[in-house]
């Protein structure tokens, strides 16, 4: 697992457990994708999917609502 994905997993889990928010708003974006000229993380499609799943799984573990939105 990449450093970025490990960090996201640790931070999301810790924040959700420590703060127990009533609602989680998440706007992941695609700037970290390897093909995005603005981002520098160079994540693959698989890396972005793992990031999204880490956030969703963290939400499921703490039973927080997680509305999703997408802007184009």
* Sequence ranges of the domains in the chain: 3-62
Work out the pLDDT band at 72, boundaries 50, 70, 90.
Answer: very low
Residue 62 has pLDDT above 60, yes or no: yes
Q: Give yes or no for a contact between 44 and 34, defined as CB atoms under 8 angstroms apart.
A: yes
pLDDT tens-digit profile of 3-48?
877 887 788 778 878 888 777 777 777 788 889 888 888 888 998 8
CB 29 within 8 A of CB 69: no
Q: Considering only residues 71 and 12, tell me which one the structure prediction assigns the higher pLDDT.
A: 12
pTM: 0.65
């Amino acid at each position: 697992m990449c450093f970025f994905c490990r960090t996201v997993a640790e931070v999301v889990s810790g924040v959700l457990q420590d703060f127990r928010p009533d609602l989680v708003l998440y706007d992941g974006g695609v700037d970290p994708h390897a093909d995005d000229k603005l981002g520098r993380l160079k994540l693959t499609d698989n890396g972005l999917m793992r990031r999204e799943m880490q956030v969703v799984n963290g939400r499921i573990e703490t039973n927080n609502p997680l509305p999703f939105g997408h802007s184009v």
